């Protein structure tokens, strides 16, 4: 400060702050990519599919991030975490992605994990021996990691059971949200969120446990039946061992049961089939007693399913058109299409496969000789095999159960969000109910407590940016820094290769589905071809004859449900939605991991 020529001059210094200039498709909630990190949308799409609006990202993102931190801490994995709030997950052009570099780095310390396994699970790549880094820590370190995994395994199992049951009973409380004062509403939301936080941690831990258990089974089978056959046997003997394993198919099973109990051979059947599914509700309501009972049961079921895909995301009862479509389809399917029949068949196939495998192993002279030489009065390796198969199947079920429970709880979170939207709309803080999804979680809470509202111009800017992101290209399979537009390098031909996710072989017409809404066009026996699926797509698995997906691995939701329903499935077929057209005659070989155009297949 100084005086010069009768003027007071003040020199002020302050740190230079630079505001991130936002791209047209950035609503301000995209993450800054970690330095030199590689990201992939594969794997996270099942939990956070498509465009994730700011509210859902600010709710789900931190919980998912924290779940990875907890898992790494439990397993004693020392990853190089950066300083930003999001390290394990990120949001780019409105879509969620996983930090693949971090997973690669941590994979060597995970039980049953390796870089090759990460590449196989996420990208469907097989590493050469030169590419596979030597595992760090030596045998002792890996042994200790295995022991740690064993220690946390039982805990994960208990946590999943606790979480799933707690969710059921929290819903049973039937809290009337509109009657709660704002303080209570926020307190209730905090408790529900705490439970969801726990659920995310459990889901990620169960997924890691499932991967480890499944890999453990595959490795044992590689020793006993060879590398070629091990993946197929692993698929065949890991159908869910308990009814709780059906959690992933619950919505499909419930819809089928409702159809059987209230519609089939009863008055609502005529009303349902009398016109398009869009007007079915009105037609059934007009029936009175019987129709109303069916509608009440359907409404209760839809409320119970919770969110369709993202925790806190749209619920089934908000957009029942898809459900009506599925209910109508049930009428065209024969009794053998019943999920229970399919699940029972899957289980008997599994038992048959296990007996076949045991007979084959016990029949080999090497097996018998080593059994005699090592004094095994009981067939110890047979017991080990059964144990490994039960563990793998058990963990797959636990993972599905945790995911299903998280989505059910997501329905309650959604109710809270919509109640908040109702109140903000009433007080004039937002112009439209769905504006609430363009707010961050913190902003929503601030506004509920009477804080400064987010300007309508800012809300509009976010809406436009999200729309641009929605209209833009999806994220590439992998990317470093900011994602570019995916450059597809497709190998066209009559035969496409992918991951054999569910055994079996079927021929049918292809149906490309870009979104769940396209599912209305899927006809019975058609091959469902899509980029990826999430739990909300499960009812379509009742109708489809086979599954072909661009993304996913042997442990993804689609693979598990396809195995439960006995549908041939090939996953990780690069560019399937570009190379295959709707109406094409396809042969899906879920055993060999091949998708062939029928003409080519016939020639072969």
Partner 1 sequence: MAPGGWSLALLERRPHDRPPRRADGRGVRPGLMGAGILVSGGILLVDGIRKLMPNRGVRRQVVIARGVRGVVAGVARAAGLDVRKGDLSQRDLRSRWAYLALGLTLVGVAALMVRAGVAAFVHHGTLHGNPWSVGLALSLGVPFLLAGGLALAIAARYRRCPGSLLRLVGRTWLGRLRPLPEDPTERALALIPVSRAEPTRVRPMEGGDAP
b (16+ CB within 10 A) / e for 125-155: eeeeeeeeeebeeeeeebeebeebbeebbee
Contact between 155 and partner 1 per CB under 8 A? no
Q: 338, 402, 400, 349: which is closest to 239 by C-alpha?
A: 349
**Number of residues located near partner 1, criterion CB under 8 A:** 43
Contact between 191 and partner 1 per CB under 8 A? yes
Contact between 423 and partner 1 per CB under 8 A? yes
Interface positions, 440-499, toward partner 1 (CB under 8 A):
447-450
Separation between Cα atoms, residue 260 and residue 366, nearest integer Å: 52
Interface positions, 281-310, toward partner 1 (CB under 8 A):
none
- Shortest distance (Å) from residue 596 CB to partner 1: 46
- Shortest distance (Å) from residue 387 CB to partner 1: 10
CA atoms within 13 A on the CB side of 116: 12
CB atoms closer than 10 angstroms to residue 351: 12
| 490 exposure class (CB count in 10 Å sphere: 0-12, 13-18, 19+) | exposed
Q: x/- binding map, residues 162-181, to partner 1, per CB under 8 A? A: x--xx--xx-xxxxx-xxxx
From the list 235-243, 310-318, 326-334, 423-431, the region that binds partner 1 by CB under 8 A is 423-431
Q: Which is nearer to partner 1, 3 or 378 (CB)?
A: 378
| 444 exposure class (CB count in 10 Å sphere: 0-12, 13-18, 19+) | buried
Q: x/- binding map, residues 105-144, to partner 1, per CB under 8 A? A: ----------------------------------------
| 327 exposure class (CB count in 10 Å sphere: 0-12, 13-18, 19+) | buried
- Shortest distance (Å) from residue 370 CB to partner 1: 10
Residues facing residue 307 across a β-bridge: 315
Secondary structure, 3-state, 369-380: HHHHHCCCCCCH
- Shortest distance (Å) from residue 310 CB to partner 1: 21
From the list 22-30, 118-126, 182-190, 322-330, the region that binds partner 1 by CB under 8 A is 182-190
- Shortest distance (Å) from residue 405 CB to partner 1: 12
Contact between 366 and partner 1 per CB under 8 A? no
Q: Collapse the DSSP code of 79 into the 3-class scheme (helix H, G, I; strand E, B; otherwise coil) and give the result.
A: coil
- Shortest distance (Å) from residue 395 CB to partner 1: 17
Q: What radius of gyration do the chain's Cα atoms show?
A: 26
Q: Which is nearer to partner 1, 223 or 383 (CB)?
A: 383
Q: x/- binding map, residues 373-402, to partner 1, per CB under 8 A? A: xxxxxx-x--x-------------------
Residues facing residue 496 across a β-bridge: 595
Residues of this chain that interact with partner 1 (CB under 8 A) are 158, 161-162, 165-166, 169-170, 172-176, 178-184, 187-188, 190-192, 194-195, 373-378, 380, 383, 423-424, 426-427, 429, 447-450
């Amino acid at each position: 400060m100084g005086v010069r020529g009768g003027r007071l001059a003040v020199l002020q210094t302050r740190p230079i702050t630079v505001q991130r200039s936002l791209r047209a498709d950035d609503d301000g909630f995209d993450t800054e990519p970690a330095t030199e990190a590689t990201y992939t949308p594969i794997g996270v799409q099942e939990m956070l599919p498509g465009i994730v609006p700011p509210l859902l990202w600010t709710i789900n993102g931190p919980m998912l991030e924290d779940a990875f931190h907890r898992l790494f801490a439990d397993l004693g994995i020392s990853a190089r975490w950066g300083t930003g709030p999001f390290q394990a997950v990120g949001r780019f052009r409105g879509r969620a992605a996983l930090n693949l570099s971090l997973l690669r780095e941590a994979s060597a310390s995970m039980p049953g994990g390796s870089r090759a396994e990460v590449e196989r699970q996420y990208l469907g790549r097989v590493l050469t021996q030169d590419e596979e880094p030597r595992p760090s820590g030596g045998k002792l370190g890996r042994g200790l990691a295995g022991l740690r995994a064993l220690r946390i395994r039982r805990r994960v199992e208990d946590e999943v059971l606790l979480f799933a049951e707690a969710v059921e009973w929290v819903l049973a409380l039937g809290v009337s949200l509109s009657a709660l004062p704002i303080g209570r509403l926020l307190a209730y939301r905090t408790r529900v969120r705490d439970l969801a936080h726990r659920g995310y941690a459990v889901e990620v831990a169960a997924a890691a446990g499932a991967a480890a258990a499944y890999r453990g089974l595959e490795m044992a089978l590689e020793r006993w039946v060879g590398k070629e056959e091990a993946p197929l046997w692993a698929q065949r003997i890991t159908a869910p061992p308990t009814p709780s394993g059906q959690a992933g198919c619950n919505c499909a099973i419930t819809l089928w049961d409702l159809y059987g109990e209230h519609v089939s051979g009863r008055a609502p059947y005529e009303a349902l089939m009398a016109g398009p599914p869009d007007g079915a509700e009105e037609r059934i309501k007009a029936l009175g007693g019987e129709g109303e009972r069916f509608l009440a049961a359907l409404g209760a079921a839809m409320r119970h399913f919770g969110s369709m895909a993202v925790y806190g995301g749209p619920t089934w009862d908000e957009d029942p058109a898809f459900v009506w479509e599925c209910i109508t389809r049930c009428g065209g399917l024969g009794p053998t299409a019943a999920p229970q029949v399919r699940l029972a068949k899957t289980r008997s196939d599994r038992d048959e496969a296990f007996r076949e495998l045991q007979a084959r192993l016990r029949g080999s002279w090497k097996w018998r000789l080593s059994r005699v030489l090592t004094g095994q009065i009981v067939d110890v390796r047979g017991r080990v095999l059964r144990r490994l198969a039960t563990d793998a199947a058990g963990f797959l079920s636990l993972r599905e159960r945790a995911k299903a429970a998280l989505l059910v709880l997501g329905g309650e979170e959604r109710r809270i969000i919509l109640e908040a939207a109702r109140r903000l709309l009433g007080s004039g803080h937002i112009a439209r109910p769905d504006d609430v999804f363009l707010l961050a979680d913190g902003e929503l809470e601030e506004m509920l407590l009477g804080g400064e509202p987010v300007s309508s111009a800012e809300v509009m800017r976010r809406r436009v940016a999200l729309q641009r992101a929605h209209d833009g290209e999806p994220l590439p399979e992998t990317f470093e820094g900011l994602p570019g537009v995916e450059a597809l390098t497709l190998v066209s031909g009559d035969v496409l290769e992918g991951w054999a996710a569910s055994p079996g072989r079927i021929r049918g017409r292809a149906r490309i589905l870009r979104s769940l809404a396209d599912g209305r066009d899927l006809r019975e026996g058609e091959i469902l071809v899509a980029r990826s699926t999430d739990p909300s797509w499960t009812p379509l698995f009742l109708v489809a004859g086979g599954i072909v997906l661009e993304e996913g691995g042997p442990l993804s939701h689609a693979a598990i449900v396809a195995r439960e329903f006995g549908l041939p499935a090939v996953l990780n077929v690069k560019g399937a939605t570009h190379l295959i057209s709707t109406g094409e005659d396809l042969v899906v070989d879920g055993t060999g991991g091949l998708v062939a155009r029928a003409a080519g297949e016939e020639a072969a």
